[in-house]
Chains A and B, each alone.
Chain A
Amino acid sequence: MTAPSTNTAKPATGIPALFKTAFINALVALVLFSLMVGIRTEAGSDGQLTYWTRFGELASLVGIVFGGSIVMELLRQWIGPTGTEKLVPPAIRSGMSFVGRYLAPALLIFTLLVPVIFYNQRYILDLAILVLTYVMLGWGLNVVVGLAGLLDLGYVAFYAVGAYSYALLATNFGWSFWVCLPLAGILAAFWGVLLGFPVLRLRGDYLAIVTLAFGEIIRLVIINWQSLTGGPNGVSGIPRPTFFGIPLDNSDDGLAAKLGIEYSSTHRIIFLFYLILALALLTNWVTIRLRRLPIGRAWEALREDEVACRALGINTTTTKLTAFATGAMFGGFAGAFFATRQGFISPESFTFQESALVLAIVVLGGMGSQLGVALAALAMIGGFELFRGLEGYRMLVFGMAMVLIMIWRPRGLIGHRAPTVYLTKAQAISSDLVKEGHG
């Protein structure tokens, strides 16, 4: 509906043009809604098709579109061309950069204190663990999508491989979480390389489709390989993590008993919270380190211009594979954590929706930005919970918020790139210059 208005907005000014735009939008709305809203069909009592018209609703919808277009157009003319330069005055922007400098440490300190502040609020602790899981997944996918510019729609596959690796190793062989965690990461990285090999020649849309398919293949294999994975029934009775061998339960060997404090089920939640926080921070630390190493620079160079990389003697094949493997490894770690936290996993947890959600977090955060991804995970997962009171309208409000954010900041919340090395002064690079990569 807004497409015609954006097209006509540039040359059009004045009242007639305003009404013309609104009229065109209303016309489009009329065509679209006349069948979707105007006529209601239902199966009657004998199975025959009954229908009745709802012209009142149709008229009000078209009217809303007409009025809305006028308001939008006026707003657009009042604000001027959309863009961060116009929308955000320089004073606020310099203030934001000041905030930006202290935001990350402040957030980290707050996160460390979350279990202390919300000790008795199980819901908030669970939500915090969920947010941190997605922060970690986002940071992992950021290596592939944000740094190397390879659009991966099947990231959930590695999450699933990690989760099932831990679940099966722990239930079948009784191996501890701390042994299985690196194994889960290695196995997921191995699958990342396996996926990487056939798709290396593909770019852009084609790569996205193949990764999407790969994600589905993993899920279907899990569903159908009943003898190993239990199929749709999933794997249950996955051991809970131990504090380096000391279980966190009510027994005499439990951590609470050993420390001589009263047992509380919150201990395990808090342990899980710090566990995922540590894993996420490990992901972050490794990614930040890698960015400043030649491999990380090669990833970013690959995103910027693959042909130039080849002319400089960079092996683009291994560079892409390492990006896939690194991202997959972190996805595997997160999967292992997911399995131990839930105690039960089934293929339902690893649908395409998860991949899409993690990708949305990375894109919303600003590709390549670690802080942006963390904020986006908080906004996406936390925000989704925040709107829970709106019930049926939750998705609608959430979608609107996403659209607004993408209009306001088309390149994500943190829309600039920090250089990895500098001679005199590190200057942030505007996102207009940074490429998104094309596979």
Chain B
Amino acid sequence: MSGDKTGDKILGVDRLTMRFGGIVAVQDLSFAAERTKITALIGPNGAGKTTVFNCITGFYKPTGGTIRLTHDDGRVIALERLNDFRIAKQAKVARTFQNIRLFPGMTALENLMVAQHNALMRASGFTLLGLVGAPVYRDAEKHAIDLATDWLRRVNLLDRADDAAGNLAYGDQRRLEIARAMCTEPALLCLDEPAAGLNARESAALSELLLSIRNDGTSILLIEHDMSVVMEISDHIVVMDHGVKIAQGTPREVRDDPKVIAAYLGTDEEEAAAVMEGGT
């Protein structure tokens, strides 16, 4: 692990194992995500991708293994030791959800303001300064609204800023959730199937958005089933099946890997075993 902790690795997952009772969801998984690159985690349904995500973002505590996040300034954070909200707050890892989790009764703008909670709390002197209307808080709020407006513009929702998030179309909600995650100003953005349920045109727009986020310097970890999106934007792909990594590499390498093809097309067990052995 220490050997590959070079400067351009933002996330290093080493021998990650997650068990639920007797069921092993993830077994000895190791991979790395590079800084300002898009790393995709793919695999058939039930491969354990979302479990890995939940371990990285603190919703599960891994049974074993380490997850290291290296910040720009060289600060290394052990994510498996942080829990819950601290991963988003201190480690600056933001995530979206497979089933969209917006605040439906709040406006799009409010959703993005909630995302800036920690910065605004500090500025409001943990509510006391804000309560008396101190100028320092008013400036901070104005800044927060500007940031939110920027993101609404980038995800093309500026004209829906004052609409309830629950009233937005499905594709708009997906983009708003990404914008909300970005408003936490994360170092690593984890997206759980952002293209699910989107049509071809929306998927293309999403690819463009993710590339622009990457080009602005945010690293992205992506779970996705939509291969057109994955192959187009990923810099590096990790393929999982039944809780273990079966392949990794560039989109081209992964596409031609027989084990990946076997996992996806579902050859029968013996044939798959033969393919596995043949591949290694």
Contacts and interface: CB of A to CB of B under 8 A. Distances in A.
Contact of B84 (A310, A419, A425): A310
A301 interface: yes
B101 A310 contact: no
Contacts of A303: 105
Contact of B89 (A297, A301, A313, A434): A313
A419 B104 contact: no
A424 B149 CA distance: 11
B94 A311 contact: yes
Contacts of B89: 313, 315
A427 B94 CA distance: 29
B88 A419 contact: no
Contact of B117 (A290, A313, A423): A313
A316 B84 CA distance: 9
Interface string A290-308: 1001110110110111011
A294 B141 CA distance: 9
Contacts of B164: 427, 429-430, 433
Contacts of B149: 423
B250 interface: no
B231 interface: no
B170 to A, nearest CB: 15
A290 B114 contact: no
Interface in B10-55: none
A135 B87 CA distance: 41
A294 B115 contact: no
Interface stretch (B63-71, B124-132, B199-207, B268-276): B124-132
A294 B110 contact: no
Contacts of B211: none
Of A289, A309, A312, A424, the most chain B CB neighbours within 10 A belong to A312
B103 interface: yes
Nearest to B86: A313
Contact of A289 (B95, B117, B131): B131
Nearest to B107: A419
B197 interface: no
A293 B130 contact: yes
B118 interface: yes
B166 A433 contact: yes
Interface residues of B, number: 47
B121 A313 contact: no
A414 to B, nearest CB: 14
Contacts of B196: none
A282 to B, nearest CB: 12
A426 B162 contact: yes
Contact of A297 (B85, B95, B114, B161): B114
Contact of B161 (A308, A311, A423): A423
B223 to A, nearest CB: 15
Given A295-B127, A311-B57, A421 B109 contact: yes
Contacts of B158: 423
A261 B87 CA distance: 67
B97 interface: yes
A304 B164 CA distance: 12
Nearest to A305: B101
Interface string B77-103: 000000011111100001101000111
Contacts of A426: 162
A294 B116 CA distance: 8
Q: Which of B116, B130, B180 has the most CB of A within 10 A?
A: B130
B209 interface: no
B29 to A, nearest CB: 22
A311 B164 CA distance: 20
B106 interface: yes
Contact of A294 (B85, B109, B117, B167): B117
A293 B127 contact: yes
A420 B162 CA distance: 10
Contacts of A72: none
Contacts of A297: 106, 110, 113-114, 117
A312 B127 contact: no
Contact of A310 (B88, B131, B167): B88
Contacts of A429: 105-107, 164
B106 A313 contact: no
B121 A294 contact: yes
B106 A301 contact: yes
Interface string A395-436: 000000000000000000000010111111111011001110
B103 A313 contact: no
Interface of A: 286, 289-290, 293-295, 297-298, 300-301, 303-305, 307-316, 322, 417, 419-427, 429-430, 433-435
